[in-house]
């Protein structure tokens, strides 16, 4: 049983096991079943993620009309060959936005760790599928690694925007995804820990300020940002860059910041972008205020 990121890294190192393997073993220990059953359930989750990406890229619109169609626009822009940031980067952005547009349209997604942050991990998987043709097993392992780090986050801090701001949602998702990328790209458990810390450090203080209280603006595009930071953090860790602040301490800092954050910035739609003139206009239009 691991309860902290340092526990996770220590066990993986001492037992010469990948983090994904430790997560599978812990799942068996905590919830029973066998490895085949656990992998089957995770495969179902992965298939939901991949289907949401495909659906979103084809083009969906939310019930409110506030969001939709951007993944399709970005895919067309990517296909044009005129993008500044490059194909690999934009593949992740497209997939992240596609997933959360499906969420906003009341489609089926897999919360990772929440519905509002469900696009980050699929975005990262999509990049590695496109660039390195990673196998289905490797994709599953990314989910198990993300699950291991998410387990620590949920039990030591929070993944709830209502409790800790968007740093707890998109921030956690980005950190989990960064750690997952590192393992599948051949990095060590310590490198995964550093990637987690680097990603989360760059999300500290991010507020949760949904316009009209809906998981649309700015949530959809923040998933694109979370995916981008995850990839950056993973590359830094794989290059040997270390976080000077240990991952567990970064997580503790995130939790304390969330505790001190005003309720205006924790999913109440009473601060930030939600109370801009345009944000208030959308709220009035939708709810006849």
Binned at pLDDT 50, 70 and 90, residue 288 comes out as: confident
Distance of CA 53 to the CA centre of its chain: 14
For residues 28-56, average pLDDT: 96
Burial class of residue 270 in the structure, from the number of CB atoms within 10 Å of its CB (0-12 exposed, 13-18 middle, 19+ buried): middle
Query: Looking at residues 28-35, what average pLDDT do you find?
Result: 92
Residue in 123, 141, 153 with CA at minimum distance from that of residue 182: 141
Structure tokens at 105: 């349209």
- The burial of 227, by beta-carbon neighbours within 10 Å (0-12 exposed, 13-18 middle, 19 or more buried), is given as buried
**CA 237, CA 235: separation in Å to the nearest integer?**
5
Please name the helix (run of DSSP H) or strand (run of DSSP E) that holds residue 255, with its range, or none. helix 247-260
Q: What is the pLDDT of residues 99-146, one digit of tens each?
A: 999 999 999 999 999 999 999 999 999 999 999 999 999 999 999 999
Alpha-carbon distance of 196 to 173, in angstroms, equals 10
Say how many C-beta atoms besides its own lie within 10 A of residue 246's C-beta.
Answer: 17
Residue 127 CA to residue 221 CA, distance in Å, equals 17
The token duo for 137 is 């097993």
Percent of the chain with pLDDT over 70: 100
């Amino acid at each position: 049983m691991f309860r902290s990121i340092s526990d996770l890294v220590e066990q993986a190192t001492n037992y010469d096991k990948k983090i994904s393997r430790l997560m599978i073993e812990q799942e068996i220990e905590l919830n029973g079943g066998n490895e085949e059953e656990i992998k089957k359930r995770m495969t179902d989750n992965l298939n939901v993620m991949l289907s949401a990406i495909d659906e979103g890229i084809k083009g969906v619109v939310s019930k409110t009309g506030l969001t939709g169609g951007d993944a399709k626009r970005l895919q067309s822009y990517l296909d044009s060959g005129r993008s500044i940031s490059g194909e690999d980067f934009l593949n992740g952005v497209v997939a992240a936005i596609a997933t959360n547009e499906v969420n906003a349209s009341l489609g089926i997604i897999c919360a990772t760790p929440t519905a509002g942050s469900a696009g980050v991990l699929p975005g990262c998987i999509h990049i590695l599928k496109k660039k390195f043709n990673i196998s289905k097993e490797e994709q599953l392992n990314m989910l198990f690694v993300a699950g291991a780090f998410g387990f620590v986050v949920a039990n030591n801090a929070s993944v709830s925007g209502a409790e800790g701001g968007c740093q707890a949602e998109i921030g956690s998702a980005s950190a989990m995804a960064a750690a997952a990328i590192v393992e599948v790209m051949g990095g060590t458990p310590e490198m995964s820990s550093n990637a987690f810390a680097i990603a989360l450090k760059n999300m500290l203080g991010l507020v949760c300020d949904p316009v009209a209280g809906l998981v649309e603006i700015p949530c959809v595009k923040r998933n694109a940002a979370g995916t981008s930071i995850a990839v950056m953090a993973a590359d830094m860790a794989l290059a040997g860059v270390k976080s000077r602040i240990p991952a567990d301490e970064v997580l503790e800092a995130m939790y304390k910041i969330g505790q001190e954050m005003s309720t205006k910035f924790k999913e109440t739609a009473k601060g930030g972008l939600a109370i801009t003139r345009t944000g208030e206009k959308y709220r009035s239009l939708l709810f006849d205020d």
